[in-house]
Structure formats: structure tokens, C-alpha cells
Amino acid sequence: MIPDELIGDEGVVLGGMLFTLVEPHRGHEVDYHRWYERDHFYSGCMEGPWLFAGRRFVATRDLKDLRDPASSPLIDPVDAGSFLSVYWILKGRFAEHIEWGTKQVHWLHDNGRMFPHRDHVHTFMYVHRWTVRRDPDGVPPELALDHPFPGLVAVMVQADEGADKKAFTSWLRDELLPARVAGTPTALVTGFTPIPMPEDAPVDQALPPGMDRRQLLLCFLDDDPRAARDAVAGLPEAVAASGLGTVELVAPFIPTIPGTDTYCDQLW
């Protein structure tokens, strides 16, 4: 069910996203990358209604080695997932886009336009809830996928069972993150909560237990995450010390370079 606040027409406002982390099978890295970049990125997503931005990212072997903690209830093993695609959906049009996307991907399956040699690691729809910007007049979230940020860090946080979820969110948004991004390469943090995929969605992934207490934070960096490790260093410890929640995944990525096979030989 689409939340009531996503129904309406409010202009160009970020309403939600499709977050899809995928692992190509070994030996099929280039073929997968070319299929996705040259076909599916557009035919499966960008040409659809109400989806207004998209960008692809990659985790090379050295970036996977920076994932934290060493194990995660969301990704097993924690270094699974090399290619990440993120798409912005217009607020008020979430349901319409999901309906189109479900029918479109079924059509692509039926017409031999899909790629079998890959696994979905974490593919879910998310609702945008809040944003923290380092600079008062910095890049707005609606432009984050178009701005040439050289790094992205995906952070999954979970409110402790029994904790006040609203208090946890307020603490993250109003206290912890504004202090942490000040003077750092982290220019923008967007917070999202998950919703189930439609029952007839081609991607069959059940929401893991506790997803109603989880939030996915996308941290957009002004630097390569390998050179800006301080941007998220100590975040799990800081969240744990609050007594309100935990960090279940910190995963850095860099953008792919469209039209090239760069990084395809650096995944393993």
C-alpha cells in the first residue's frame, strides 16, 4: 500500500526511490554491465512515467573491503553486490510508476530482454522521508543523482526493538548527522524507509524481519569514498552509543563511467 502522503501533485519533489543492488555472475561482468547500461537502465526504468533521475554506481573489490560491519542481516556475505542503480520517483506519483514498472519488466521478460546471469542482492522501493544538507544552499536531493558526486555511501540503520522510532529519526536527522557532516566531504544525506514490492513484481524479495524499524541513508560525497573514509568513520559506534539503534551496513560506491567497461575487471 502506498502511504497517503505520496498521493498528490506537489511539483518536482523527491517522493521515493528504487534501490537495486545486483551481483553479476563471475565471467558475465561485462555482458551484464553492457546489457544494463545500454538497455535495461532505460527500457526498464528511465523511460517510465514519473521517474525523473537515475544513476549507476559500482563497488570494486577495494570498496567492498571497506564495508562495515563484517556481517550484516541484510547482505550475506557482506561483500555481495557490485552494481548499484538508484532512481528518483516524483512525489505523488509513486503508485503510478510502480504499476508501470511491474508491467514493463514482465513485458521485457516475455520478450527476451532480460539478463539471467545475475542475482538481486537488495532490490526494494523506498519512500523519501528527510534530508540533511551540509551547506544551507547546497545541492537539493532532487538533483543529487544529476550532480557529479564522486562518491556514495549507503548506510542502513535500524531502531532497536522497543525504541521510539520517531525519537531515533529525530536524533539522526537533527543531532547526529548535522554535526557529523559539518566540514566534511559529505554534502548531502537522504533518509528513506522501505515499502514492500508489489505482489506481482518480477523481483521476488521479501522484506527482511525488522524492516519496519530500518532506514536507508544515502550519503553523497564530494570526494572518492576511499579518500574520504572519515566521512562515515565511527558512525556504527556513534549510533550504538545512543541506545536507540544500530548500523547494519555501511557500503561505499563510486559512479560507473557510462559508455565504458571501466571497473568490470575490478569486482573480485
Asked if 57 contacts 81 with a C-beta cutoff of 8 angstroms, the reply is no
Structure confidence at residue 143 (pLDDT): 98
In a domain, 228, yes or no: yes
In a domain, 182, yes or no: yes
In a domain, 5, yes or no: no
Cell 520517483 identifies what position?
A: 89
Q: Which amino acid is at 256?
A: T
Cell 500500500 identifies what position?
A: 1
The 3-state DSSP class for residue 61 equals: helix
Which helix (H) or strand (E) segment holds residue 233: the answer is: none
User: What CA–CA distance (Å, rounded) separates 91 from 95?
Assistant: 10
Confidence category of residue 69, pLDDT binned at 50, 70, 90:
very high
Name which of 201, 243, 199, 194 is nearest 215 in CA terms.
194
Q: Lowest mean pLDDT: which of 5-9, 59-63, 223-227?
A: 5-9
In a domain, 262, yes or no: no
Cell 530482454 identifies what position?
A: 113
User: What CA–CA distance (Å, rounded) separates 20 from 163?
Assistant: 29
State phi, psi for 245 to the nearest 5 degrees: -170, -175
Encode pLDDT of 153-175 as tens digits: 999 999 999 999 999 999 999 99
Asked if 167 contacts 185 with a C-beta cutoff of 8 angstroms, the reply is no
* DSSP alpha helix (H) spans, 1-139: 29-35, 61-64, 94-110
Maximum Cα–Cα distance across the chain: 52
In a domain, 66, yes or no: yes
Q: Write the CA distances from 101 to 65, 106, 195, integer angstroms.
A: 33, 9, 15
Encode pLDDT of 2-14 as tens digits: 554 444 556 799 9
Number of domains in the chain: 1
Confidence category of residue 87, pLDDT binned at 50, 70, 90:
very high
Q: Write the CA distances from 69 to 23, 74, 217, 251, integer angstroms.
A: 20, 11, 16, 9
Encode pLDDT of 207-221 as tens digits: 677 888 999 999 999
Question: What is the domain extent for residue 123?
Answer: 12-255
Share of the chain residues as helix, strand and coil, in percent rounded to the nearest 5: 30, 30, 40
In a domain, 150, yes or no: yes
Asked if 45 contacts 172 with a C-beta cutoff of 8 angstroms, the reply is no
Residue 29 has pLDDT above 70, yes or no: yes
In a domain, 267, yes or no: no
Structure confidence at residue 114 (pLDDT): 96
Confidence category of residue 206, pLDDT binned at 50, 70, 90:
low
- What's the mean pLDDT in 42-60? 97
Give the CATH number for residue 98. 3.30.70
Mean pLDDT for the chain overall: 92
In a domain, 61, yes or no: yes
Q: Which amino acid is at 37?
A: E
